[in-house]
Structure 1
Amino acid sequence: MLDYKKLFDLSGKAAVVIGAGSGIGRASAEAIGSLGAQVICADADLDGAEAAAAGIVAAGGRAEAYRINAAEGAEIEALAQHALRSLGKVDIAVSTPALNIRKLIVDYTEEEYDRVMNLNMKGAFNFFRSFGRPMMKQGFGSIVACSSMRAVTIEPGLGVYAASKAGIAQLVKAFAAEMGPYGVRVNAVMPSIIETRLTAPLKERADIFKTYAGHTVLNRWGQPSEVGSAVAFLASDAASYISGSSLSVDGGWTAIDGPPTGLTSTRPSA
């Protein structure tokens, strides 16, 4: 019988996680590190990256911190080259940074549009190129990006952010098709309402926090660890036949049209 535990084991793997300083990125780095991979924790917040790396090391893993501006293509390329020198290869590459400026489209400035797109969309583009090239030469690898449920569902004020996340989902499909012949898999996770630094302002408003929770079939917000676990799965050999997919980690938000109605189930009588 196949040893399924080994499919999830990342021992001997070399991983890079961009955005590892907090939230989903940190949870992804921790999950990947806990499964045995050596991790480079990269983030614009070096203190956060160092804390993430220290946590992995304290748990018996191997990790190092690296400072990066994920909106700069040259810095992403430098990280990829550093990873190759330091680790000798890159089996797993994950990128999670994102920026959202919540405004109606008519109120957006060009500078704000560029800030969102440069980090979210162009950042993903540069991430794919910089880590895809060495993986093509290796003949193996798993790349995981972070899209969002906003790629497929929207509300006023999120148009630009949603467009960037939909773009990432399409890039994932295209890049998966291009990388498949080289043995490289490309996927994304699509989280919904996760308690992170990005969503902290919403949590401060109890009415919105409760309303958003009610849009999920589980009636709650998600935790970064729940997305990090999905990232680790996509990175592992357990997902060896998954490529070009955007995995919903959304508590069922996109499974229904609006919030649940509150109808109760009726059990059949004996």
Structure 2
Amino acid sequence: MTTSLDYSTMFRLDGRRAVVLGAGSGIGREAAQALAAQGAEVVCADLDPDAAAATADRTGPGATALALDVLDRAALAGAARDLGDVDVLVLTAGTHVRKRLLDYSAEEFDRVVGLNLRGAFDVIRAFGGPMAARGRGSIIGFSSMRAVALEPGQGVYSASKAGVTQLLRAAATEFGPSGVRVNAIAPGIVETPLTAQIMAEPDWYRAYADKSVLNRWGRAEELAGAVVYLASDASSFVTGAVLAVDGGWTAAD
């Protein structure tokens, strides 16, 4: 039996356009560079235009920058239309307010759920519809290990990420017959601007490192391989999946 998949190029993305939302820093920035390294034409999108431009400069001559607010539905629809054929969509944008439920304000709840969950909903619709119409594409969203393993002060964020997981799985079932794959990546504790508050506290930093099976925090670049895998033909039969990249945090009690 022979295979139609060329194992020597199965991770290559030559000729494909990838849009990374949240490319200005952290995991998004590393994902953009990794996709470009495999041959993709990368659009580095971020709310901060200077950060988007800086990532595009780091990513290489084929990369472009785009200022885009994922909370602006009209802007999302316009970007999806103006960019034309998008083969890979990566959504890393997110926010967090670490407070117990009784301490949360309504504004903070709306901010976290609005960006993490409603933003994902709008992004999936804006880019997933055209992908389904063309009959191809890969959507990669970021959930979190907090969708399944939480602690006091993480409730709203965890709920939003659990919702993101289910949204992505729903999209996988609805877009799959049209040839579009949709998957989630669930990071563990990773050194990014979103975790700067914890990183600044030595006791917390060490405690979180010890909770991982590998006894350390993850680095943003260690998520890039998962993004490339789910974007490429190497994962051609993978959809509706949640890929944990958490240093074994959710594997051990």
Normalised to the residue count of structure 2, the TM-score between the two structures is 0.97
Match of 1:50 in 2: 53
Per the alignment, in what secondary structure is the counterpart of residue 156 of structure 2? helix
The Cα of 1:94 is off from its aligned counterpart by 0.6
Per the alignment, in what secondary structure is the counterpart of residue 99 of structure 1? coil
**What CA RMSD, in Å, does the superposition of the two structures yield over aligned residues?**
1.0
Match of 1:247 in 2: 243
CA–CA distance in structure 2, aligned partners of residues 26 and 79 of structure 1? 19
CA–CA distance in structure 1, aligned partners of residues 26 and 212 of structure 2? 20
1:184-199 paired onto structure 2 within 5 Å? 184-199=180-195
Per the alignment, in what secondary structure is the counterpart of residue 5 of structure 1? coil
> Is 1:10 matched with 2:6?
no
CA–CA distance in structure 2, aligned partners of residues 81 and 180 of structure 1? 21
Which amino acid is 1:93 matched to? L
Match of 1:230 in 2: 226
1:135-214 paired onto structure 2 within 5 Å? 135-214=131-210
CA–CA distance in structure 2, aligned partners of residues 38 and 115 of structure 1? 32
Which amino acid is 1:182 matched to? S
Which amino acid is 2:244 matched to? S
Match of 1:75 in 2: 75
Question: 1:44, 1:67 within 8 Å by CA — same for their partners in 2?
Answer: yes
CA–CA distance in structure 2, aligned partners of residues 221 and 182 of structure 1? 38
CA–CA distance in structure 1, aligned partners of residues 199 and 8 of structure 2? 37
CA–CA distance in structure 1, aligned partners of residues 91 and 111 of structure 2? 17
Per the alignment, in what secondary structure is the counterpart of residue 4 of structure 1? coil
The Cα of 1:143 is off from its aligned counterpart by 0.2
Runs of 4+ in 1 over 3 A off after TM superposition: none
Which amino acid is 1:127 matched to? V
> Is 1:220 matched with 2:216?
yes
CA–CA distance in structure 1, aligned partners of residues 236 and 221 of structure 2? 22
Which amino acid is 2:130 matched to? P
Residue 34 of structure 1: which of 18, 21, 37 is its match? 37
> Is 1:25 matched with 2:25?
no
Question: 1:15, 1:91 within 8 Å by CA — same for their partners in 2?
Answer: yes
The Cα of 1:75 is off from its aligned counterpart by 2.0
CA–CA distance in structure 2, aligned partners of residues 211 and 142 of structure 1? 36
Match of 1:267 in 2: none
Unmatched 5+ residue regions in structure 2? none
Per the alignment, in what secondary structure is the counterpart of residue 93 of structure 1? strand
Match of 2:110 in 1: 114
Which amino acid is 2:195 matched to? T
CA–CA distance in structure 1, aligned partners of residues 98 and 197 of structure 2? 11
Of structures 1 and 2, the larger Rg is shown by 1
CA–CA distance in structure 1, aligned partners of residues 250 and 188 of structure 2? 9
TM-superposition CA deviations, 1:85-143 (whole Å, max 9, x none):
xxxx1100011011100111111111111111110000000010001111011100000
Give the count of matched residue pairs.
250
CA–CA distance in structure 2, aligned partners of residues 72 and 104 of structure 1? 29
Which amino acid is 2:248 matched to? G
Residue 101 of structure 1: which of 97, 100, 115 is its match? 97
Normalised to the residue count of structure 1, the TM-score between the two structures is 0.91
Question: 1:16, 1:83 within 8 Å by CA — same for their partners in 2?
Answer: no
CA–CA distance in structure 2, aligned partners of residues 82 and 196 of structure 1? 30
Which amino acid is 2:98 matched to? R
Which amino acid is 2:80 matched to? A
